[in-house]
Chains A and B, each alone.
Chain A
Amino acid sequence: MTHDHRHDHDHDEEMSLRVAALERLLIEKELVDPAALDELIDTYEHRVGPRNGAQVVAKAWTDPEYMAWLLRDATAAIASLGYAGRQGEHMVALENTPAVHNMVVCTLCSCYPWPVLGLPPVWYKSAPYRSRSVADPRGVLKELGVELSGDVEVRVWDSTAELRYLVIPRRPPGTERWSEEQLAKIVTRDAMIGVARLQLERAK
């Protein structure tokens, strides 16, 4: 789990050869369809990502009934916007409030809600985040720029099963008249993991 943030040329070359050898073999044996591989890559590199989750959050902020549904049955509420399937089969939405701050980790691997956030970033999968977020969440949050007062309860959700968690960040003050579309633009991936707070400057 090291080196992910560095780029060691020899390692890259060794891995390239090793993957290419396996891919050639699997194609030769007709165990994979090359067009299916392209489809998988295109889906997760270009079509599925945190813009989906941002739509969910923006709708929840502007539609109290939808928010209630999302908190009661996140899988169905999220699927109603067209986001469903692999690694998002069993969703739970966690609402941040002035009293409670939620953040999500997977200490055992890299479980992450793909349909709403896409594939996880390297830091989320890294040993520092996986080891420290459960034991020292405030330290991790502070390092990532989120300082919480002692009276806010931090809840860390360790995704050890097949439940996938989406944090509903707090809606920034000053956005009361904003449309759902405007709001979706300010919701970031890191806020939906629970390691960032939303700031208004981003949207203007």
Chain B
Amino acid sequence: MNGGQDLGGVHGFGPVLREGDEPVFHSPWERRAFALTLALGMLGRWNIDMSRDYRENRDPVDYLSSTYYELWLKGLERLAADRGLISEQELRSGRGLSSRDPAIKPPDAARVRELLVSSRGAKVNEPVAARFAPDQRVRVKNRHPATHTRMPRYCRGKTGAIAIDHGVYVFPDTHALGLGPKPQHCYSVRFTALELWGEPRRDAVYVDLWDDYLEKE
């Protein structure tokens, strides 16, 4: 979606402000929002692409005026309700009105530790053919899906070259919608600053893009 999350090239946000000796969390509630998000995610009722979709799929004004873990919390509340872990009424009242699905087994501390380390990620062990080869010139499709996508606006319609073929990965656009992993090759595609921004600088941006986002030049 062309939402508040797609920030590459947007103007007006001001300087990058670094904080000295920055703590990992700035308030106790951030710790809780972070941990709840990971713990509920481990129940397997949704995937990481759905989590990202739920954080970004909102009025851009809301996205841009929320703090980081506030977006995590808002996304988590909606996911938990939409995916049936809690009811709307429970979310509103803060009180449990029914017992949980007995098939759900929340991980304990030892299991959490295992799950963090054994996480397999998004690579898919399937022999899907690559549509493009290293060094090949490709153009990013000029498409504007209203649903979750990982194709930033600043590279749409632009031409680059395949720099690295990373292998076969889950495709976020379908995965976020519950339409399956649609495994396909994901590449780092190199774009020059001249192509992206019209500036003849000796710079390049590498964007990770899937086969479905790309076409032959």
B112 touches A125 (CB 8 A): no
* CA A12 to CA B25, docked complex, whole Å: 12
Interface residues on A, range: 35 or more
A128 touches B16 (CB 8 A): yes
Does A185 make an interface contact (CB < 8 A)?
no
Contact flags B13-29 to A (C-beta < 8 A → 1, else 0): 11111110010111111
Tell me which of B96, B202, B208 contacts A161 (CB under 8 A).
Answer: B208
Contact flags A136-154 to B (C-beta < 8 A → 1, else 0): 0110100110000011111
Does A62 make an interface contact (CB < 8 A)?
no
Q: Which residues of A from 118 to 160 have beta carbons under 8 Å from B?
A: 118-119, 121-123, 125-132, 134-135, 137-138, 140, 143-144, 150-160
Does B95 make an interface contact (CB < 8 A)?
yes
Does B178 make an interface contact (CB < 8 A)?
no
* CA A181 to CA B98, docked complex, whole Å: 55
A95 CB to nearest B CB, Å: 14
Q: Which residues of B from 21 to 43 have beta carbons under 8 Å from A?
A: 22, 24-29, 31-36, 38-40, 43
Tell me which of A38, A157, A162 contacts B121 (CB under 8 A).
Answer: A162
Which of A53-61, A106-114, A170-178 forms part of the interface with chain B? A106-114
User: How many cross-chain pairs have Cβ atoms below 8 Å apart between A and B?
Assistant: 279
A24 touches B94 (CB 8 A): yes
B152 touches A107 (CB 8 A): yes
A4-B68, A126-B16, A131-B8 in contact; A41/B164 too (CB < 8 A)? no
Point out the residues of chain B lying under 8 angstroms from A150, CB to CB: 201-202
Does B166 make an interface contact (CB < 8 A)?
yes
How many residues on B have C-beta within 8 angstroms of the other chain's C-beta atoms?
A: 98
B202 touches A154 (CB 8 A): yes
* CA A124 to CA B29, docked complex, whole Å: 20
Contact flags B103-123 to A (C-beta < 8 A → 1, else 0): 010111101110111111111
Tell me which of B6, B67, B115 contacts A4 (CB under 8 A).
Answer: B67
B123 CB to nearest A CB, Å: 6
Which residues of A approach B to under 8 Å, CB–CB?
1-5, 7, 11-12, 15-16, 18-26, 28-33, 35-41, 43-45, 49, 84-87, 89-90, 92, 107-110, 118-119, 121-123, 125-132, 134-135, 137-138, 140, 143-144, 150-163, 190
Provide 27 A-B residue pairs closer than 8 Å at the C-beta atoms, listed in order of the A residue. Answer: A1-B66, A15-B67, A19-B73, A21-B94, A23-B32, A30-B100, A33-B39, A35-B109, A40-B39, A85-B116, A89-B121, A89-B123, A92-B164, A107-B6, A108-B7, A108-B150, A127-B64, A128-B16, A134-B8, A135-B9, A135-B197, A153-B204, A156-B206, A161-B172, A161-B210, A162-B48, A190-B18
